[in-house]
Amino acid sequence: MTRTADTLLEEIQGPTPGQMLRKRVFGHQGLLFGVAVLGLLLLVAIFAPLLAPHDPYAQDLLARMQPPVFLGGSWEHPLGTDHLGRDYLSRLIYGARISLLIGGFAALISGLIGTAMGVAAGYFGGRVDMAVTFLINVRLAMPVVLVALAIVAVFGGSLQVVILVLGFLLWDRFAVVMRSSTLQVRSREYVTAAQAIGCSTSRVILSEIMPNIVNNLIVVVTLEMAHAILLEAALSFLGLGVQPPTPSWGLMVSEGKQMMLFEPWLVAIPGITLFVLVLAINLLGDGLRDVTAPENRS
Amino acid sequence: MSEGNASPPVLELRNVSKTYQIKQGMFGERKPLKAVNDVSLSLQRGDVLGLVGESGCGKSTLAKILLGLEAPTSGEVLVDGEPIGAQNRRLLARRIQPIFQDPYSSLNPRKSIRDIISLPLRVHGIGDSASQDKAVREILDVVGLPSRVMNSYPSQMSGGQRQRVAIARALIMKPEVVVCDEPTSALDVSVQSQILNLLGELRREFGLTYLFISHNLAVVEHLATRVAVMYLGRIVEEAPVGALFDEPRHPYTEALLASVLTPEPDLGVPDTHLGATYPNPIEPPTGCHFHPRCARVMERCKGVAPQLTSDGEHSVECHLYGQESGQAVA
Amino acid sequence: MSEPVLSVRNLRLDIPIGAGTLHAVRGIDFDLDRGETLCIVGESGSGKSLTSLAIMDLLGKRIERKADKLVFDGTDLTKAGARKMRALRGDRMAMIFQEPMTSLNPAYTIGDQLMEALLLHRKVGKAEARRRAVELLEKVGITGAERRLSQYPHQLSGGLRQRVMIAMALMCEPELIIADEPTTALDVTIQAQILRLLVDLTREMNVAMILITHDLGVVARVADKVAVMYAGELVEAGTAKKVFDAPMHPYTRGLLRCIPVPGKTERGSELGSIPGIVPSLVGEVSGCVFRTRCEEATEACRGEIPFRESADGRHNFRCVHEAGRRAGVEEPA
């Protein structure tokens, strides 16, 4: 057959998208650092009971405010003890659970809400788009911290309340980004081709559009995770987030602030951990954006 | 169109119109835009109907109506004599399939070639995965690709190879009609000819019927059996390819044909005698929509819309050919 | 004969990439006289657009430009600095791009953009610049020129925008216009109008033009001289008449067989094609670049390929075979 002869000569060139992705991932230092730190903290959070040397709630009023080893403390409490004599390292380790839990669930809830709204707006356009855009504008007009403070003040602070409040407040960026990504992809001819094949609307969205916008979604997930973790810390610092004695990093900073002038490490240690976690998540997000963005065309 | 043909046309459009309501400005009133205006066409099995016209003339809207992606505002589309409604897009999908212009945008970059080509089978629940794989292999062979490309991704292929994949996807359901929307205009010259040859072969082999939309009249002349010329939503001339290219009747067709640049260095750039501006389709000119750009305009063209006149195979909508045709204004 | 307005010898463009060097353009030679139109024709990846950008020095830092000679209107462009090039661009040499929507700034009026180059390069007042803008808009066939000056690009159709681009290119009466696929995005009827305008104006104003295109029909109708590029090399060059009437290089012949010509090609017949793909240009490129797709290829095509010049120097091609065909193959009648 003549028509095969023509194209057999044309070799299939280049790596698959998967191979290209792998190559870029392993060439991106920021991304690798982010993954390493986040992975480490995730392991710490999961295996907290095994790793923590003490019970994070156990008070020892005789051993209050012992300094960490590097400031002349003992190995009994490597990072010292707080104003109630609780082991600071153990509280830090359990605190990772709180931060990641809040970051993860808040991003999950807001991601579901925002993605659903954004994709619907971008795909259907018209009135749906108008409604969603209106909701986004309403949401953007609300100051997050003040609203969160008000709700927590009414319903009382607890882990669940903080997660729900943040989850229902942080969806705006998801909606904005997913809406514009969907708008871009929906005009591609492969979407029209899928419609002409007879695909149902849900199939077109889930199998043709979603795979092409999921990279943007992942980036927003990381950004909002970092956002949620910082907001939790801020709320806890103000006393309206997670309630004592739960070991939250923001709460630890808050509890240490009275002694800050005399024992600056009480604030510095949870502060630095918080900083490293948020930095790692942001590096991960930036890295993911870099490695997934230039994919569609060579 | 031809009488004495017992079987109904494989595809028929009866007085199809599509009107959009266009809002001008933020608080402007909505105005109707007749993208497709009372179009009737019929294709016999094995026909290749070339549809030509400038951008904005409505040819892409017409393609969308045929594919069931847009519902006509009025009129009927019939496949094998049965009217199709907007509600059974899935059934229509088995009979009419598209091939698009840009092979870079028509294949989902995240899917393997196997997934792209087998999607129609999976959507319609035809066969199990083994028989679907077999069908993909067969259709790849038909379009001239080796079966090892099944596991490749679109980004690994050249433009010509991608267009072959798009053709394979369109043909795997064995449709009767293929709507080709500028299928070669994004391809290099040497690849374009391969795809045109392939489309020609496939038509002969499978008895396909094409609606071939293109702005490249040389390509249309080569592949089409019939040609329809569209202007501002209306078919202004329709004829077998030979009649249309050898004896064009409508002044717009003449201008289109004159603007074809063949590789003949002695001829220079032709003068099309067309004004520069394509009219605003929201406020089309009165009378014959073409009259402001027409080289052979008459007084009557400005006020009275021309009626379709037909001598069997060749129909044209122009006052020059009406029964009461008047004198051309010099 | 007077000095050519543009003279290019052995132009080479290298792009360093991870694995080595991509030799994108290799050894381009041509001369262009005043008022003459050269069409560079080639498929994607032939280096035709890079060549035009190299002349304008718009390549960007990543691409290395080397040339034995690159002289424009008495100026040695290989030695011209960024300041000198800026002074030349838009004044002595102007460019027209494919997509008039993206090359016109949507934030400024047509008038502002037309007058900008003149105000930048010449010591003229606003009134004078405005008068010139109106004059040129009328010249490119735009009616109501005065009124158009205050319009924005989005208010014009594609064809009108391309006319504005042409007017803009002509504002400073350049010696050279480079038009990169100026009509590819336009309808056929508009394409003919724009090309006619370009041909008429360059003749009338005695401007040299380089027109980059993939469309052989455009080349045949517009060009005085043709340069056929394949994979970064000039494979055939000559007057339009000679190249189209008696194409010598197998690639040129192959291209011409690929396109259907109304009235000449039999309807529905099999069109010619060029099997295979453009070879990789990374690393050492030796022998004839077209040999992998050439039906005339022999063992000798791996070696040194001579650039064959006709007696009058007006039709040249690069091929080992003396007549562009394998020895012993009769030329079809």
Q: Domain coordinates of chain B in residue numbers?
A: 11-321
Q: Is the pLDDT of residue A97 over 90?
A: no
Backbone phi, then psi, for B202, in 5-degree steps?
-65, -35
Look at B265 and C223 and tell me if their CB atoms are within 8 Å: yes
pTM of the model: 0.82
Look at A9 and C275 and tell me if their CB atoms are within 8 Å: yes
Residues in chain B: 330
Interacting residues of B191 by C-beta distance below 8 A, sequence separation 6+: B158, B159, B160, B163, B184
- Domain tally, chain C: 2
Look at C275 and A5 and tell me if their CB atoms are within 8 Å: yes
Backbone phi, then psi, for B85, in 5-degree steps?
-110, 175
Instruction: Output the pLDDT for position A298.
Output: 33
Q: Which residues of B29-149 form beta strands (DSSP E)?
A: 30-43, 48-52, 74-79, 82-84, 96-99
Taking Cα atoms as reference points, which of C36, C18, C28, C34 lies closest to residue C53?
C28
Helix axes A88-124, A265-292, angle to 10 degrees: 30
Q: Is the pLDDT of residue A264 over 90?
A: no
DSSP characters over C119-184: HHHS---HHHHHHHHHHHHHHTT-SSHHHHTT--GGGS-HHHHHHHHHHHHHTT--SEEEEESTTT
Taking Cα atoms as reference points, which of C303, C316, C208, C188 lies closest to residue C252?
C316
For residues C145 and C180, membership in a common domain is answered with: no
How far does C206 lie from chain B, in Å, by closest CA? 18
Higher pLDDT, B278 or C82: C82
Instruction: Output the pLDDT for position C211.
Output: 94
List the single residue in B196, B216, B259 with the smallest CB-CB distance to C189: B259
Q: What is the rounded distance in angstroms from the CA atom of residue C284 to the CA atom of residue B70?
A: 54
DSSP characters over A209-232: IHHHHHHHHHHHHHHHHHHHHHHH
pLDDT tens by residue, C101-153:
677 888 888 888 888 888 888 888 889 999 999 988 888 888 888 888 888 88
- C154 is a domain residue: yes
For residues C160 and C251, membership in a common domain is answered with: no
Contacts of B156 in chain A (CB under 8 A): 12-16
For residues C273 and C307, membership in a common domain is answered with: yes
- The answer to whether residues B255 and B274 touch, using CB atoms and an 8 Å cutoff, is yes
Instruction: Output the pLDDT for position B136.
Output: 94
Backbone phi, then psi, for A16, in 5-degree steps?
-70, 165
Q: Is the pLDDT of residue B86 over 70?
A: no
CB atoms within 10 A of CB C306: 11
Domain boundary among C129, C154, C171: C171
Give the structural domain span for C194.
6-92+172-318
List the single residue in B106, B144, B145 with the smallest CB-CB distance to A189: B106
- The answer to whether residues C117 and C90 touch, using CB atoms and an 8 Å cutoff, is yes
Contacts of C141 in chain B (CB under 8 A): 276
CB atoms within 10 A of CB A130: 11
Contacts of B60 in chain A (CB under 8 A): none
For residues C46 and C190, membership in a common domain is answered with: yes
Interacting residues of A112 by C-beta distance below 8 A, sequence separation 6+: none
Cα A118 vs. chain centroid, distance in angstroms?
Answer: 19
Instruction: Output the pLDDT for position B102.
Output: 84
Q: What is the rounded distance in angstroms from the CA atom of residue B37 to the CA atom of residue C218?
A: 33
Q: Is the pLDDT of residue B238 over 90?
A: yes
Quote the CATH superfamily of domain B11-321: P-loop containing nucleotide triphosphate hydrolases (3.40.50.300)
For residues C285 and C257, membership in a common domain is answered with: yes
CA angle (C62 as vertex; C58, C63 as ends), nearest 5: 65
How far does B268 lie from chain A, in Å, by closest CA? 35
DSSP characters over C203-271: HHHT-EEEEEES-HHHHHHH-SEEEEEETTEEEEEEEHHHHHHS--SHHHHHHHHHS--TTTSPTTPPP
Size of interface A-B (CB pairs under 8 A): 114
3-state SS, residue B77: strand
Place of tokens 């010292």: A80
Q: Is A9 on the interface with C (CB under 8 A)?
A: yes
Q: What sections of chain A are H helices per DSSP?
A: 2-8, 17-26, 29-46, 48-51, 88-124, 126-140, 144-155, 159-169, 172-186, 189-197, 201-203, 210-237, 249-256, 265-292
Specify the DSSP class assigned to residue C314: S
Q: Tokens for B246, please give them.
A: 């050898």
Contacts of C273 in chain A (CB under 8 A): 6
For range A74-98, the mean pLDDT:
83
3-state SS, residue C85: helix
How far does B328 lie from chain C, in Å, by closest CA? 23
Specify the DSSP class assigned to residue A118: H
Interacting residues of B143 by C-beta distance below 8 A, sequence separation 6+: A3, B164, B165, B167, B168, B171, B198, B202
Domains, chain A, in order of start with CATH, read: 27-51+70-295 (1.10.3720.10)
Instruction: Output the pLDDT for position A12.
Output: 55
Q: Is A5 on the interface with C (CB under 8 A)?
A: yes
- The answer to whether residues A53 and A90 touch, using CB atoms and an 8 Å cutoff, is yes
Would you state the torsion angle of the CA atoms of residues A38, A43, A48, A49, taken in this order, to the nearest 10 degrees?
170
pLDDT tens by residue, C168-220:
888 888 999 999 988 887 888 888 888 998 999 899 999 999 999 999 999 99
Q: What is the rounded distance in angstroms from the CA atom of residue C151 to the CA atom of residue C109?
A: 5
CATH at residue C193 = 3.40.50.300
For residues C108 and C193, membership in a common domain is answered with: no
pLDDT tens by residue, A119-131:
999 999 888 999 9
Q: Would you call C17 exposed, middle or buried from its count of C-beta atoms within 10 A (0-12, 13-18, 19+)?
A: exposed
DSSP characters over A134-174: HHHHHHHTS-HHHHHHHHHHHH---HHHHHHHHHHHTTHHH
For range B94-99, the mean pLDDT:
89
Size of interface A-C (CB pairs under 8 A): 12
Q: What is the rounded distance in angstroms from the CA atom of residue A41 to the CA atom of residue A29?
A: 18
Where b means 16+ CB within 10 Å and e means fewer, A134-167 reads: ebbeebeeeebeeebbebbeeeebebebbbbbbb
Size of interface B-C (CB pairs under 8 A): 145
Look at C277 and A11 and tell me if their CB atoms are within 8 Å: yes
Interface list for B 27-86 with A (CB within 8 A): 67-69
Q: Tokens for C280, please give them.
A: 């990789």
Contacts of A19 in chain B (CB under 8 A): none
Taking Cα atoms as reference points, which of C57, C56, C73, C59 lies closest to residue C24?
C59
Place of tokens 């008000």: A150
Q: Is the pLDDT of residue A4 over 50?
A: no
Q: Would you call A276 exposed, middle or buried from its count of C-beta atoms within 10 A (0-12, 13-18, 19+)?
A: middle
Q: Could you tell me which chain A residue has the CA closest to the CA of B97?
A: A196
Residues in chain C: 333
- Return the percentage of chain A with pLDDT > 70, whole number: 93
Contacts of C274 in chain B (CB under 8 A): 190
Q: Is residue B95 left, alpha or beta, with left meaning phi > 0 and alpha meaning psi from -120 to 50?
A: alpha
Q: Tokens for A82, please give them.
A: 């707080």
Q: Number of C-alpha atoms within 13 angstroms, CB side, residue C12?
A: 13
Q: What is the rounded distance in angstroms from the CA atom of residue C17 to the CA atom of residue C34?
A: 38
pLDDT band at B87 (very low <50, low <70, confident <90, very high): low
How far does C77 lie from chain B, in Å, by closest CA? 32
Q: Number of C-alpha atoms within 13 angstroms, CB side, residue B176?
A: 15
How far does C227 lie from chain A, in Å, by closest CA? 26
Domain boundary among C171, C192, C216: C171
For residues C205 and C272, membership in a common domain is answered with: yes
Q: Is the pLDDT of residue C316 over 70?
A: yes
Average pLDDT score, chain C:
87
Domain boundary among C171, C201, C236: C171
Q: Long-range contacts for B17-26 (Cβ within 8 Å, ≥24 apart)?
A: B17/B72, B17/B73, B17/B74, B17/B75, B18/B58, B18/B61, B18/B62, B18/B65, B18/B70, B18/B72, B18/B73, B19/B73, B22/B282, B24/B282
Q: Which of B269, B278, B293, B294 to mutate to test the interface with C (most CBs of C within 10 A)?
A: B269
- C323 is a domain residue: no
- C325 is a domain residue: no
Look at B69 and A192 and tell me if their CB atoms are within 8 Å: yes
> How far is residue B29 from each of residues A97, B21, B139, B279, measured CA to CA in Å?
58, 9, 50, 20
- C167 is a domain residue: yes
For residues C236 and C292, membership in a common domain is answered with: yes
Look at C275 and A11 and tell me if their CB atoms are within 8 Å: no
In sequence order, what are the beta bridge partners of B179?
Answer: B98, B211
Q: Is the pLDDT of residue B328 over 60?
A: no
Q: What's the complex ipTM?
A: 0.85
For residues C163 and C103, membership in a common domain is answered with: yes
Taking Cα atoms as reference points, which of A11, A12, A28, A13 lies closest to residue A291?
A28
Q: What is the rounded distance in angstroms from the CA atom of residue A104 to the CA atom of residue C2?
A: 75
Q: What is the rounded distance in angstroms from the CA atom of residue C140 to the CA atom of residue B313?
A: 41
Interacting residues of B10 by C-beta distance below 8 A, sequence separation 6+: B43, B44, B45, B47, B79, B80, B176, B177, B209
Q: Which of A1, A7, A186 to mutate to test the interface with B (most CBs of B within 10 A)?
A: A7
Q: Is the pLDDT of residue B62 over 70?
A: yes
- The answer to whether residues A110 and A170 touch, using CB atoms and an 8 Å cutoff, is yes
Q: Is the pLDDT of residue B27 over 70?
A: no
Q: Which of A3, A8, A9, A24 to mutate to test the interface with C (most CBs of C within 10 A)?
A: A9
pLDDT band at C328 (very low <50, low <70, confident <90, very high): low
pLDDT tens by residue, A185-244:
988 888 988 888 888 889 999 988 998 898 889 889 988 988 888 888 888 888 777 778
- The answer to whether residues C141 and C163 touch, using CB atoms and an 8 Å cutoff, is yes
How far does C233 lie from chain B, in Å, by closest CA? 17
Q: Is the pLDDT of residue B52 over 90?
A: yes
